[in-house]
Chains A and B, each alone.
Chain A
């Protein structure tokens, strides 16, 4: 049988508590060796050692019950930490094996010492993702579900968590299986047409082709719908990058603060106070947003500033959302126009690095009389949304948030219950399958025989199977599990 594995399952660093997890046939035995209940005899009077039978001791742990006690060093009898420990019997555990968890104080020293003792008692260190791999191998979860675990661990907001949880529950798998079912039917229909040539005539061939085409169209639509969720899905899980740009002293830092509703960036009336980019995480209606305030984009006056400006331009290149901040109380200045020209160049694709996120023009200082020429602005940046705000009072920030959300969802509001593709590998497989299906459809339209078309149909079917693990390919597991951190 496989070895018993152990690892620290919480993030490294100082935390309130930390968890060490053990999985495998010897999990209970090892826990029994190290765990001591309060008032029990024998701190130092060693409990049954490794290799000796520990049935009695393991038995003392009630299944799925938290026990309070201490972890002791079995060789010296020294107390390592005060802990809560739980023992969960197979098969109804995360990995499908016996699992023990020790909840201790979250210090690195405590966690490391406890893990050392567990390893000294016969467990081996878990590889990255090995707990989840075992869960998969023991049939607790399928491959898409395993992938979802990664996303869940990484999810930064509730919405991301929900999407990942949806996958973990098998919703994506179910959806993919539905599409595969349609493709399987199409393949079967093509097969009948190939193998029973005497059963019908040319009209029959034509009817079969049209029927297969209808099935493929349906499958393609379902795949496209899933793919359409992928970008939003990625953004939800990984977060989007938003960047605030504008000439100095238009209130960029104030805007950041307004959005954060707390003071983090340095705010000053002297132009150029913010010399470097400042990053903050925001939770905008369930979407994690990484917001960067940039040093003003203008010609560098000092080397130090030049560095900040380089970084700003870099942030601009990577941004999904660009909040162009303008001072509404003043007419457009030359500096504003320069920045606008820069963005317009990106938006229209005149420049080489023309890939550009969605631009939202934030017209600040709504609390003062408006002097900016909105029409001129609309001409310079056609189609760009304009939002009037007051960074000082916070007025209008709600609308910015709405604009960001609708940019993420492509204008369509979405509810949390729809299945989303949040994993880049899944998206690329879906794209491949959709491309094969499209190829098959093209072939059908130009009247190519079904036996050719079937090759592409089968390709799509197999590719989708890679998402759920129904198609066996070399290295599929490594691809999935290599993304895990140790302890999951």
Chain B
């Protein structure tokens, strides 16, 4: 349907459909880049809602939030203001997998974000259900129509529909149309999308029950406290705040598993009531029990949902058992014997697009000016959604301004990995980021997200001047401190004595001081060289670093990591160089893959569909084999020769 003209007041640069985690970042990014932006949501009460776990961050996800923040996004700031417990996961492992995670006060998280949106210049946050996208030919989106009949024109539209799109909740054999947590679903828009030729598919996710805090027996639960030393998500946060609640740990047992196993056909998927594809990494208890029959217990965390509520989230225990069996199951768990349930667990099916139909800028390949972010792209998770939202918002603006898309590659950010995975490899299940998906994770650390991205964020205009200056100061101090550590000479004897003392004080490294002392048998060493040793840390080095200046905490940490892991980082950088070489081998967009001798028809088909921009991207398309990529390489090489022989 074509709409010719909109009134001045009804015309927007960017219209964002949905105000979940993707929509919020998209709307804020567009408005902060100076575009007149309209955000539409079915319910203002569900802005930045967390319908599943009450937490932000985790492995891979924590890195995403740091990157969103480094670029000038909001998620990190919002969680820093509203968290009630904070932990650095994997702290005992290498810095590449250190992943910040915080429990959020759900209500405050929502309110804080909603307030930020309301105050944002250029941004209008409005309640309203979009029922139609308006297009003109050749397919290009021009605006939206609401259920009220109102029509708004938009130069670009961002779809961030989450689980609302054709949402359907399942509990055992019962199901009904619903958005998350009983909210109104979006049922008309999916019909409209189908009518316009979009192919929708069904994904599924689930959430466990919430139990009331005062009905839990805490004497039987294992307390998990927050970190003593809190690491904020945002590079802009000065006051790290404090932990206000703990999480609690317990386990399922054989009785719990028996209840599930005996009633497994009463759950929605095993009873054949749902067809949607669920995530493998986030298994329901029925999946856990049926797939791992040998496991005698499964661990679960009880996570408080906020300061002003008794509700507690039962992590890892999603199910679609009937209500009475849910109650029996949860109550079979130690510490939950008298638990009262405030919300029962459910699974929810929703419509989404195949992300292969999107470009790396998250724009739809066929429907110009239409961008997509979050669960509609087949991802799962608040952080994944927010990261895409930010990128979609930025790219919608750049589309309007006629600028090159802003795309991060796999060696630059988890955001790059996430979007490349989705739009190049595609996904057959709700996609969750993981550190193992990032092949260059030693470079993509949470601690250096600003070094990687703030300059870029400044370049696209999203990172504020304040943020940029902060980053420059951090960077300068880090470099100075690294230089200083490399320059301070320690006499060999003093170094050996220091290492010897470390050996005596730190248990478990009894043979380290011997080798340590003998390694520095003559001459002298530097503080930096000492810091490379496994038993030496920036902190314990203070003992012989007498003239240590007062250095920013950021610079201390960063200098330590960069010196300590220099060898690894160098090796990783070499791998990145290799990667970049293949990424920079561009494939001409007009390439007729069917005409390339030696390319298998299946590969020609996939390549024609996806139209990769580079050899590197082509090599990641599923169904394209290394031999196929070699054919492309030969083709490119021949082209580069300028048809030296055949004049082709």
Most chain A CB within 10 A, of B97, B534, B595, B615, is at B97
Contact between B595 and A1, CB atoms less than 8 A apart: yes
Most chain B CB within 10 A, of A451, A456, A474, is at A451
Nearest CB on A from B282, distance (A): 11
The answer to the question of A207 belonging to the interface, with a C-beta cut-off of 8 Å to chain B, is no
Task: Give the A-B contact count at a CB cut-off of 8 A.
Answer: 114
Q: Which of B89, B575, B597 contacts A1 (CB 8 A)?
A: B597
The answer to the question of B581 belonging to the interface, with a C-beta cut-off of 8 Å to chain A, is yes
Contact between A198 and B299, CB atoms less than 8 A apart: yes
Q: Which of A198-223 contact B (CB under 8 A)?
A: 198-199, 202, 205
Tell me the bound Cα distance from A288 to B571 in angstroms.
41
Contact between A194 and B646, CB atoms less than 8 A apart: no
- Identify the stretch in A136-144, A347-355, A368-376 within 8 Å (CB) of chain B at 4 or more residues: A136-144
* A452-B629 in contact given A3-B646, A191-B434 (Cβ < 8 Å): no
Q: Which of B91-146 contact A (CB under 8 A)?
A: 92-94, 96-97, 99
* A448-B634 in contact given A139-B600, A197-B59 (Cβ < 8 Å): no
Contact between A142 and B627, CB atoms less than 8 A apart: yes
The answer to the question of A124 belonging to the interface, with a C-beta cut-off of 8 Å to chain B, is yes
Contact between B60 and A195, CB atoms less than 8 A apart: yes
Contact between B299 and A199, CB atoms less than 8 A apart: yes
Contact between B96 and A2, CB atoms less than 8 A apart: no
Determine the chain B residues whose CB is within 8 A of the CB of A472 once the complex forms: 582, 615, 619, 626, 629-630, 633
Contact between B96 and A451, CB atoms less than 8 A apart: yes
Determine the chain A residues whose CB is within 8 A of the CB of B633 once the complex forms: 472, 474, 477
Determine the chain B residues whose CB is within 8 A of the CB of A447 once the complex forms: 534
Tell me the bound Cα distance from A164 to B108 in angstroms.
70
Tell me the bound Cα distance from A452 to B92 in angstroms.
13
Q: Which of A430-488 contact B (CB under 8 A)?
A: 446-452, 454-456, 458-459, 465, 469-474, 476-478
The answer to the question of A89 belonging to the interface, with a C-beta cut-off of 8 Å to chain B, is no
Q: Which of B94, B582, B619, B645 contacts A451 (CB 8 A)?
A: B94
- Identify the stretch in B9-17, B20-28, B436-444, B551-559 within 8 Å (CB) of chain A at 4 or more residues: B436-444
Determine the chain B residues whose CB is within 8 A of the CB of A476 once the complex forms: 630
Tell me the bound Cα distance from A458 to B571 in angstroms.
12
Determine the chain B residues whose CB is within 8 A of the CB of A137 once the complex forms: 597-598, 627, 630-631, 634
The answer to the question of B301 belonging to the interface, with a C-beta cut-off of 8 Å to chain A, is yes
The answer to the question of B6 belonging to the interface, with a C-beta cut-off of 8 Å to chain A, is no
Determine the chain A residues whose CB is within 8 A of the CB of B572 once the complex forms: 455
- Closest residue of B by beta carbon distance from A475: B633
Determine the chain B residues whose CB is within 8 A of the CB of A449 once the complex forms: 92-94, 97
Nearest CB on B from A258, distance (A): 51
* A455-B442 in contact given A2-B597, A194-B90 (Cβ < 8 Å): yes
Tell me the bound Cα distance from A477 to B279 in angstroms.
39
Determine the chain B residues whose CB is within 8 A of the CB of A478 once the complex forms: 637
Q: Which of A3, A456, A474 contacts B581 (CB 8 A)?
A: A474
Nearest CB on B from A26, distance (A): 13
Tell me the bound Cα distance from A212 to B90 in angstroms.
18
Tell me the bound Cα distance from A205 to B619 in angstroms.
33
- Closest residue of B by beta carbon distance from A477: B630
Contact between A477 and B600, CB atoms less than 8 A apart: no
Most chain A CB within 10 A, of B60, B585, B631, is at B631
The answer to the question of B578 belonging to the interface, with a C-beta cut-off of 8 Å to chain A, is yes
Determine the chain B residues whose CB is within 8 A of the CB of A403 once the complex forms: none
Contact between A448 and B645, CB atoms less than 8 A apart: no
The answer to the question of B435 belonging to the interface, with a C-beta cut-off of 8 Å to chain A, is yes
The answer to the question of A290 belonging to the interface, with a C-beta cut-off of 8 Å to chain B, is no
Nearest CB on B from A465, distance (A): 8
Contact between A194 and B578, CB atoms less than 8 A apart: no
- Closest residue of B by beta carbon distance from A447: B534
The answer to the question of A275 belonging to the interface, with a C-beta cut-off of 8 Å to chain B, is no
Contact between B94 and A448, CB atoms less than 8 A apart: yes
Most chain A CB within 10 A, of B59, B571, B597, B600, is at B597
The answer to the question of A311 belonging to the interface, with a C-beta cut-off of 8 Å to chain B, is no
Contact between B439 and A194, CB atoms less than 8 A apart: no
Determine the chain B residues whose CB is within 8 A of the CB of A477 once the complex forms: 630, 633-634
Contact between A451 and B299, CB atoms less than 8 A apart: no
Determine the chain B residues whose CB is within 8 A of the CB of A124 once the complex forms: 645-646
Nearest CB on B from A367, distance (A): 62
Nearest CB on A from B643, distance (A): 12
* A452-B442 in contact given A194-B93, A205-B92, A446-B534 (Cβ < 8 Å): yes
* A473-B578 in contact given A191-B436, A194-B436, A449-B93 (Cβ < 8 Å): yes
- Closest residue of B by beta carbon distance from A135: B598
Tell me the bound Cα distance from A287 to B635 in angstroms.
40
Tell me the bound Cα distance from A472 to B534 in angstroms.
35
Determine the chain A residues whose CB is within 8 A of the CB of B270 once the complex forms: none
Determine the chain A residues whose CB is within 8 A of the CB of B597 once the complex forms: 1-2, 134, 137
- Closest residue of A by beta carbon distance from B300: A198
Number of interface residues of A (CB under 8 A): 46
Bin chain B's interface residue count: 35 or more
- Mask: chain A, 115-156; 1 = CB below 8 Å from B; 0 = not: 000000000100000000110111100110000000000000
Most chain B CB within 10 A, of A190, A192, A454, A478, is at A454
Tell me the bound Cα distance from A452 to B633 in angstroms.
32
Tell me the bound Cα distance from A17 to B79 in angstroms.
81
Tell me the bound Cα distance from A134 to B596 in angstroms.
12
The answer to the question of B176 belonging to the interface, with a C-beta cut-off of 8 Å to chain A, is no
Tell me the bound Cα distance from A474 to B640 in angstroms.
14
* A195-B435 in contact given A449-B93, A451-B96 (Cβ < 8 Å): yes
Determine the chain A residues whose CB is within 8 A of the CB of B97 once the complex forms: 194, 197, 449, 451
- Mask: chain B, 39-77; 1 = CB below 8 Å from A; 0 = not: 000000000000000000001100000000000000000
Determine the chain B residues whose CB is within 8 A of the CB of A139 once the complex forms: 598, 600, 627
The answer to the question of B174 belonging to the interface, with a C-beta cut-off of 8 Å to chain A, is no
Determine the chain A residues whose CB is within 8 A of the CB of B626 once the complex forms: 465, 469-472
- Closest residue of A by beta carbon distance from B89: A197
Determine the chain A residues whose CB is within 8 A of the CB of B581 once the complex forms: 474
Nearest CB on A from B635, distance (A): 10
Determine the chain B residues whose CB is within 8 A of the CB of A194 once the complex forms: 59, 90, 93, 97, 434-436
- Closest residue of A by beta carbon distance from B434: A195
- Closest residue of A by beta carbon distance from B441: A451
Tell me the bound Cα distance from A450 to B629 in angstroms.
31
Most chain B CB within 10 A, of A124, A134, A197, A448, is at A197
Determine the chain B residues whose CB is within 8 A of the CB of A471 once the complex forms: 626
Nearest CB on A from B223, distance (A): 15
Tell me the bound Cα distance from A124 to B597 in angstroms.
15
Nearest CB on B from A480, distance (A): 10
Determine the chain B residues whose CB is within 8 A of the CB of A136 once the complex forms: 627, 630
Tell me the bound Cα distance from A177 to B301 in angstroms.
41
Determine the chain A residues whose CB is within 8 A of the CB of B630 once the complex forms: 136-137, 143, 469, 472, 476-477
- Closest residue of B by beta carbon distance from A191: B436
Contact between A474 and B575, CB atoms less than 8 A apart: no
- Closest residue of B by beta carbon distance from A465: B626
Contact between B301 and A469, CB atoms less than 8 A apart: no
Q: Which of B424-441 contact A (CB under 8 A)?
A: 434-436, 439, 441
A-B contact pairs, 6 of them (CB 8 A): A124-B646, A137-B627, A194-B434, A458-B439, A469-B626, A474-B585
**Besides A2-B598, A472-B619, A477-B630, 18 new A-B residue pairs in contact (Cβ under 8 A), listed by A number:** A1-B595, A1-B597, A124-B645, A134-B598, A136-B627, A137-B597, A187-B436, A194-B93, A195-B435, A448-B534, A451-B94, A451-B96, A452-B568, A465-B626, A472-B615, A473-B578, A477-B633, A478-B637
Q: Taking beta carbons and an 8 Å cutoff, which residues of A are in contact with B? A: 1-3, 124, 133-134, 136-139, 142-143, 187, 190-192, 194-199, 202, 205, 446-452, 454-456, 458-459, 465, 469-474, 476-478
List the 9 shortest-distance A-B pairs measured between CB atoms, nearest first: A137-B598, A191-B436, A2-B597, A449-B94, A449-B93, A195-B434, A451-B97, A472-B629, A451-B94
Q: Taking beta carbons and an 8 Å cutoff, which residues of B are in contact with A? A: 59-60, 89-90, 92-94, 96-97, 99, 281, 299, 301, 434-436, 439, 441-442, 534, 565, 568, 571-572, 575, 578, 581-582, 585, 595, 597-598, 600, 615, 619, 626-627, 629-631, 633-634, 637, 645-646
